[in-house]
């Protein structure tokens, strides 16, 4: 759980500075599962059914995809209140 908190804080503070492996770990810890992959694009689904296509930029996660992920997670938190 501690790793999840560190990664979510890092993503919120600097989405551009998140490595792809950290982003992958964060999504997995949040329950997102890989549906399929074609080339460099992975399609992942949240436990709620949200879909997100992700790919690397070198070894880094793309900033806009991290932002989309955070928005999905924020929406899930708001619904649980």
d(CA 48, CA 17): 27
The correct CATH number of 2-74 out of 1.10.3470, 3.30.920, 2.60.120, 1.20.1640 is: 3.30.920
Cβ-in-10-Å burial (0-12, 13-18, 19+) of 78 comes to: exposed
User: What's this model's pTM, rounded to 2 decimal places?
Assistant: 0.86
pLDDT digit string, tens, across residues 12-54 = 999 999 999 999 999 999 999 999 999 889 999 999 999 999 9
Sequence ranges of the domains in the chain: 2-74
Is there a contact between 52 and 32 (Cβ–Cβ < 8 Å)?
yes
Rounded alpha-carbon distances, angstroms, from residue 22 to 8, 50, 80, 81: 10, 20, 25, 27
């Amino acid at each position: 759980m501690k790793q999840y908190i560190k990664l979510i804080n890092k993503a919120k503070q600097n989405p551009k500075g998140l490595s792809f492996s950290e982003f992958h770990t964060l999504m997995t810890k949040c329950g997102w599962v890989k549906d399929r992959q074609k080339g460099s694009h992975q399609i992942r689904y949240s436990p709620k059914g949200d879909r997100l296509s992700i790919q690397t930029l070198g070894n880094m996660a793309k900033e806009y995809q991290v932002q989309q992920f955070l928005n999905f997670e924020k929406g899930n938190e708001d619904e649980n209140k």
